[in-house]
């Protein structure tokens, strides 16, 4: 009895639209999502155009989107979805692990990027994370970004490199936040206290009008803080 009462209602489940042109993969994803008590597969799409149309019809919480779709690709579809349905979270599911594609997807408005080699629990975690408003980047991609900027103290050395309206230190802290470093890791690298990092983070979010880490990541990408 208690198990039935604890199950989420239909309105509480994360409603997911699956967009991929491979039938077997769609079927597998559909079965995977339907086996989860907190997730519901509400529809499928096989092309970019159909993805946008189905999303407008179904108003899903999350669109699980292949980046290589017939017609408009996943990046362009992401832009269209965020323009017409700004509340929908787009989670890119792809075989591609190129950092440039990750950056482009985040710039376009994607809330997550996960590779098709991910384990099933990782995919469910990613769906739940983006639904909460968090940014999800598959660990292999996060590591690739971290490897690009090992020398954090090199960020914004000159006044011309500051990211207006942030101070030099705030720019440094922002770059680490965007790359996935924790507050304690950032503090250790910059030789400052965790409390100071937290203060900088609060100031950054206030100055940029950001409410979530995903917004900070997009800002950092747009201003070249994650570029090689």
For residue 115, what is the domain's CATH number?
A: 3.40.50.2300
The 10s digit of each residue's pLDDT in 102-150 is 888 888 899 989 988 888 888 998 999 899 888 888 776 665 555 554 4
Rounded to whole angstroms, the Cα distance separating 28 from 173 reads 41
The percent of the chain in helix, strand and coil, each rounded to the nearest 5, is: 55, 15, 30
- pTM for the whole structure: 0.67
Q: Report the number of distinct structural domains present in the chain.
A: 2
- Three-class SS of residue 130? helix
Are both 16 and 43 inside the same structural domain? yes
Q: How far is CA 151 from CA 133, 136, 142, 172, in A?
A: 30, 24, 16, 11
The 10s digit of each residue's pLDDT in 200-223 is 989 888 888 888 777 888 788 777
Which domain CATH number covers 210? 1.10.10.10
Are both 17 and 49 inside the same structural domain? yes
Give the residue from 154, 206, 195 showing the smallest Cα distance to 175.
Answer: 154
- Three-class SS of residue 199? helix
The answer to whether residue 94 sits within a structural domain is yes
Task: Check residue 207 and give left, alpha or beta (phi > 0: left; psi -120 to 50: alpha).
Answer: alpha
The answer to whether residue 18 sits within a structural domain is yes
The answer to whether residue 187 sits within a structural domain is yes
Are both 130 and 84 inside the same structural domain? yes
């Amino acid at each position: 009895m208690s198990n039935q009462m604890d199950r989420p209602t239909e309105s509480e489940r994360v409603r997911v639209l699956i967009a991929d042109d491979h039938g077997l993969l769609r079927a597998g994803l559909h079965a995977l999502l339907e086996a989860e008590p907190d997730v519901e597969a509400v529809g499928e799409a096989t092309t970019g155009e159909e993805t946008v149309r189905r999303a407008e019809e179904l108003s899903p919480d999350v669109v699980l989107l292949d980046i290589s779709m017939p017609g408009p690709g996943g990046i362009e579809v992401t832009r269209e979805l965020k323009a017409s349905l700004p509340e929908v979270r787009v989670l890119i599911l792809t075989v591609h692990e190129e950092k440039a594609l990750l950056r482009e997807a985040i710039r376009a408005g994607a809330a997550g990027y996960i590779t098709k080699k991910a384990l099933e629990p990782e995919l469910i975690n990613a769906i739940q994370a983006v639904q909460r408003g968090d940014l999800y980047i598959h660990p292999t991609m996060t590591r690739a970004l971290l490897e690009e900027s090992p020398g954090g103290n090199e960020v914004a050395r000159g006044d011309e490199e500051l990211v207006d309206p942030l101070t030099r230190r705030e720019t440094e802290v922002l770059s680490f936040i965007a790359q996935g470093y924790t507050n304690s890791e950032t503090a250790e690298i910059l030789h400052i206290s965790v409390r100071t990092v937290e203060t900088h983070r609060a100031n950054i979010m206030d100055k940029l009008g950001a409410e979530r880490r995903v917004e900070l990541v997009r800002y950092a990408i747009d201003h070249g803080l994650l570029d090689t």
